[in-house]
Amino acid sequence: MQQFVEQAKPYAKYGKVADYIPALRKADPNDLSIAIYAPDGTVVCAGDTQEKATLQSISKIIALAFVLMNRGEEEVFKKVGMEPTGDPFNSIAKLEEKQPPKPLNPMINAGALAVTHMIDGADVDERFHRLLTFVHRLAGDSAITYSKEVAQSEFETAFLNRSLCYFLKQHGIIDEDVEPLMDLYTKQCAIEMNCIDLARIGLVFAMDGFDPIQNDPIMPPHIARICKTFMVTCGMYNASGEFAIKIGIPAKSGVSGGILAAVPGRFGIGIFGPSLDEKGNSITGIKLLELLSKTYSLSIF
């Protein structure tokens, strides 16, 4: 594994750290850590596995699973579609074209905001606490919390997400106030963990929602499968098609440089490598997954 990491690391120089959220700019582009979690509890790691990073867009797939469990498919898919889009994750143009203007899928920002809107609770604190508890169970780690600094930094600068929220509100996709929703969403994105936690969450998806370590049926198999499908069709922003062809593993990335991957029936993978390519995916993380997928034939296709 360490060898793969060494092979992938030099690619960091072709990318750059996310700069649109001020607090993310501090990341070291040369960091790279990976963990692979097997159903029998074996963990193989490399790099500084104690380094923590925020989930960012990876949280979209976790929130989707949570909301599907709470609200059911029918209700969720009334507010968000199932189709991939060739547009960037923060595009608003496509929303206007479609009638009704339902976000095309839950992995683009507009769709993710509609999903987070459906997290139930009396207030932002309760809603976030419910989601965080779900994360604790998924990762088997109740110490996981969120980065106040990153949440605050994103909250202060997320004008485009507010633009999307108001557009959704205009069209009745969301009906709560925008500021509390932004508060909840930026906290969700700022949930922080190391790559081992991330790999363990990947394992739960890989095992169809069942946690083999705790013998805990965390989510129904059909919901885990829906999530893995979205990971394949739109988990890697508008590079998902290329990722599916070259690597073929259900995965979700975030602009912190994280990637959550789930090799069905076999294991979960967690990676953090903050140097991003132009689509917003970890450039070293993708390289690492490509090496793994080719060496061990991990593609689902």
Q: Residues 237, 240, 263, 293: which is the catalytic one?
A: 237
Q: Residues 9, 52, 60, 79: which is the catalytic one?
A: 60
Interface positions with its own copies (CB under 8 A): 81-87, 91-94, 96-98, 104-105, 159-160, 162-167, 169-170, 178, 225-226, 228-230, 232-234, 238-242, 244-245, 248, 250, 264, 299-301
- Residue 185 annotated in ligand binding: yes
- Residue 255 annotated in ligand binding: yes
Residue 233 CB contacts under 8 Å (≥ 6 apart), including other chains: 83, 84, 105, 240, 244
CB of 44 or CB of 82, closer to its own copies:
82
Q: Residues 33, 37, 52, 57: which is the catalytic one?
A: 57
Residue 60 known to be catalytic: yes
Residue 11 known to be catalytic: no
CA distances 187 to 147, 208, 297, Å, are 8, 27, 37
Residue 169 known to be catalytic: no
Residue 57 known to be catalytic: yes
CB of 75 or CB of 125, closer to its own copies:
75
CB of 145 or CB of 299, closer to its own copies:
299
Residue 215 CB contacts under 8 Å (≥ 6 apart), including other chains: none
- Residue 105 annotated in ligand binding: no
Give the Cα separation of 248 and 234 in Å (integer).
12
Residue 166 known to be catalytic: no
Give the Cα separation of 267 and 155 in Å (integer).
34
CB of 136 or CB of 162, closer to its own copies:
162
Known binding-site residue numbers for substrate: 57, 109, 154, 161, 185, 237, 255
- Catalytically active residues, by annotation: 57, 60, 185, 237, 255
